[in-house]
Amino acid sequence: MTASGHNQTKIRVGIDFGTTNSVVVIADENGNTHPARFVFTDHTTSETCRTLLCLWMDQDGRRRVMKDAIGLDAIEAYLDDPAESRLIMSMKTYLAQGSFRETRVFSSVMTLEALIARFLTSLMDKAGLNPGDVSATIGRPVRFAGELADDSLGVARLRESFLEAGFPEPNIVLEPEGAGWRFMQRLDRPATVLVGDFGGGTSDFSVMRFDPQGSPRVTTLGHSGVGIAGDQFDYRIISHAVAPALGRDATYRVMGGQPLPVPAEWFASLGRWHRLSLMRTPQTLRDIADVAKTSSEPEKLRSLLRLIEDQEGQNLYRAVGQAKSDLSRQDSTVLRFIHRDLKIEETITRADFESWIAPDLAQLDDAIEDAMVQAGLGPDDIDRVFLTGGTSFVPAVRDLFDRRFGAERVDGGSEFVSVAEGLALIERERHQA
Q: What is the mean pLDDT of each run of 10 residues along the chain (433 residues)?
A: 50 94 93 92 90 89 86 87 83 89 85 96 95 96 83 96 96 90 85 90 89 82 88 92 95 91 88 67 90 96 91 85 94 96 95 97 96 96 91 93 96 79 92 68
Q: Give the pLDDT score at 413.
A: 66
- At 181 the pLDDT is 87
Q: At what angle do helices 358-375 and 230-237 cross, to 10 degrees?
A: 160
CB-based contact 411:383 (threshold 8 Å)? no
- The answer to whether the CB of 242 falls within 8 A of the CB of 304 is no
pLDDT for residue 83: 75
Start-to-end CA distance of the chain, whole Å, equals 20
pTM of the model: 0.79
The answer to whether 222 touches 228, Cβ cutoff 8 Å, is: no
| Angle, helix 282-293 to helix 298-309, in steps of 10 degrees | 160
Distance CA 19, CA 360 (A): 18
Per-residue pLDDT at 113: 96
Longest dimension (CA), the chain: 79
Rg (CA), the chain: 23
| CA separation for the pair 372, 152 (Å, rounded) | 23
